Amino acid sequence: MLIGDEMGLGKTLQAIALSIYYKSHWPLLIICPASLQNQWHNEFMKWGKPESSLYHIQFLTQQQLDMEPIKQKNRIYIMSFNLATTKTLPKFISQIDCLIVDESHYLKSDKAQRTRFLIPIIQRSTHSILLSGTASPSRPSELFTQLNALQPKIFSSFSAFGYRYCDGSSGNFKGASHLQELHTFLKSTVMIRRVKDDVLKDLPPKTRYCIKLHLQPNRLLQEQYEKFMGNQEMADLLDDPYDMMESCLNQKSTTKAMDSQIMEFFRKSGIAKKSLLKQYLNYIFKQFPDKKILFFGHHKAVLDSISSEYPSNFYIRIDGTTPKEQRHKEVQRFQTDESCRLGVLSILAAGTGLNLTAADTVIFGELYWNPGALCQAEDRAHRIGARGPVSVYYLLCDNTIDNFIWKKVNKKLEVTGLTLDGKFGELSGFVQEFKEDNVLDGELVDELCGDLNENEGDKEDQEPFVDDPGVLFPVDDVQEQEIDNLVFGEDEMNQKEGLQEEIVPVENNKRKIPTNSNPYQLIKKRKL
């Protein structure tokens, strides 16, 4: 069974209830991202009562696997996806008869080692429960490995599936076709899918806004933007970072060079936006002093820039380097401490498994190619327990990579919406504009926080932009890390030290404005 409910509707609880119903087939194996292991333990202890005292929950580590754990009926084994790539797993793992795979879209690539290892185990298991709110993050082809694992007799041939539902006539199976039929087929065979509008009638609404930021002219960015505009092959590569990884593996020198340019354009776009992102965030805090805000970014430089703007008690920071134990403490502090008003979060590392409903505002300083990752991140705040309406702001700049990624993710959402929900999906929202001649003065930070170090809020305005190429991934879980390892080098991606710095000159022209004026204006209330 594939439980594909929209994020925040209780997939974990449903899986626990089903697994307890099949307790006679235990031991139970739970496979999930490493960052969610503690959450699964806590949820089982919460919802598994009164029998929870009889369970023995064991986190599988490489050391324990080497010792060959004992197969016992009352055991619950929790294992990360990362361990699924090991070559020395205990024999009983392959004989598990009841298992849960959380965030099963991690198995979307048939080339990934963990997919090749886990699919046979799922197929052999009598009771397999897959969970994912974004089972098809970008296109129908990403569903097949999960469907084949659950129903190998029905979904036996990728070729047949691809020609029918992935526009196979084009030859690459990256398209989409007969999606209404596929949606009906999925719901009649393996998938349960409910959305918030159908189930949570009392859930406060979520409204999206597209905020247009205006950058000062930047020669380096403009040159790269013009390269993209004039090169269709390069623009096509932007469709999916997996395309980039595949081209790198194929060692096509010209394509590999374009991959590097794309990732560099992505990184420099984030760097160029840093000052405006801080200014916009400061404005929101100034106008709405009681708000709790989640700020999502992708690159280390962007997250560092936001973090350095505020004192440590004012924010939490969760990225790919945050230990599992620390993640839980940070979430609790954000949820309960009134003085902690900002979450500085990585789209990939903090986009799943976190309950941050104390926030009513979500701001994306950067985009990502995978629309599922963006939707997952949005719903850290918009889920059961939300305290009021949630506003989501996407901060976009012209003449940056934002233009390309925004169009791509909306196109992909149309496809995934038809596949999973039987209707078009979209990420578009009301358009607003943040004008460059109304940008804020850094002194607002001192007003907001009071106890910042002297001159800390103005530091970046006195110096040129300095950045490193680091991107903070959840290192052991996220497939997309492999892409940047190929482009930048694994050591460069996984280590915080020794990163090369690059100076990107970007002019700043900040003016102080009256605190009662509005630095953005509603231009048109229309869909993008």
The tens digit of pLDDT for each residue in 189-234 reads 999 999 888 888 888 999 999 999 888 777 667 776 776 666 666 6
Q: Cα 180 from chain centroid? A: 26
pLDDT on residue 511 = 31
Average pLDDT over residues 240-260: 53
pTM score, two decimals?
0.73
Q: Reply yes or no on whether the pLDDT at 262 is more than 70.
A: yes
- Which of these ranges, 167-176, 318-327, 427-436, 480-489, has the smallest mean pLDDT? 480-489
Residues making up the chain, counted from first to last: 528
- Which of these ranges, 105-114, 291-300, 371-380, 490-499, has the smallest mean pLDDT? 490-499
What's the pLDDT tens digit per position in 50-83? 565 556 778 887 766 666 555 677 889 899 998 8
What's the pLDDT tens digit per position in 27-41? 899 999 988 888 899
Rounded CA-CA distance 369/278 in Å is 23
Rounded CA-CA distance 126/317 in Å is 41
Rounded CA-CA distance 397/434 in Å is 10
Closest CA to 336 of 316, 366, 319: 316
Averaged pLDDT of the chain = 76
Q: Reply yes or no on whether the pLDDT at 244 is more than 60.
A: no
Q: Please spell the DSSP secondary structure of 119-171, one letter per residue.
A: HHHHHH-SEEEEE-TTSSSS-GGGGHHHHHHH-TTTS--HHHHHHHHS-GGGS
Is the model more confident about 331 or about 511? 331
CATH number of 2-198: 3.40.50.10810
Q: Where residue 266 falls among pLDDT bands split at 50, 70, 90?
A: confident
pLDDT on residue 103 = 93
130 CB-near residues (< 8 Å, 6+ apart): 1, 2, 3, 100, 101, 104, 122, 146, 149, 150
pLDDT on residue 48 = 77
Is the model more confident about 114 or about 467? 114
Closest CA to 102 of 20, 189, 13, 200: 13
pLDDT on residue 512 = 32
- Which of these ranges, 80-84, 104-108, 201-205, 502-506, has the smallest mean pLDDT? 502-506
pLDDT on residue 354 = 87
Cis ω for the linkage preceding 50 (within 30 of 0): yes
Rounded CA-CA distance 442/310 in Å is 11
What's the pLDDT tens digit per position in 134-165? 898 888 999 999 999 999 999 999 999 999 99
pLDDT on residue 429 = 54
Average pLDDT over residues 171-177: 86
- Which of these ranges, 47-61, 175-189, 295-309, has the smallest mean pLDDT? 47-61
Q: Reply yes or no on whether the pLDDT at 375 is more than 80.
A: yes
- Which of these ranges, 12-26, 100-114, 232-246, 343-357, has the smallest mean pLDDT? 232-246
CATH number of 206-524: 3.40.50.300
Q: Where residue 329 falls among pLDDT bands split at 50, 70, 90?
A: very high
Q: In what order do the strands lie in the sheet with 315-318?
A: 315-318, 342-346, 293-297, 361-364, 390-397, 206-213, 430-434, 520-524
Amino acid at 106: Y
Extended strands (E) in 159-252: 191-192, 206-213
Average pLDDT over residues 165-189: 90
Q: Where residue 289 falls among pLDDT bands split at 50, 70, 90?
A: confident
Q: Cα 364 from chain centroid? A: 11
pLDDT on residue 393 = 95
Neighbouring C-beta atoms of residue 497, cutoff 10 Å? 4
Domain coordinates in residue numbering, the chain: 2-198, 206-524
89 CB-near residues (< 8 Å, 6+ apart): 65, 83, 117
Of the CA atoms within 13 Å of residue 29, those in its CB half-sphere come to 27
Of the CA atoms within 13 Å of residue 88, those in its CB half-sphere come to 9
Q: Reply yes or no on whether the pLDDT at 316 is more than 90.
A: yes
2-198 and 206-524 have identical folds: yes
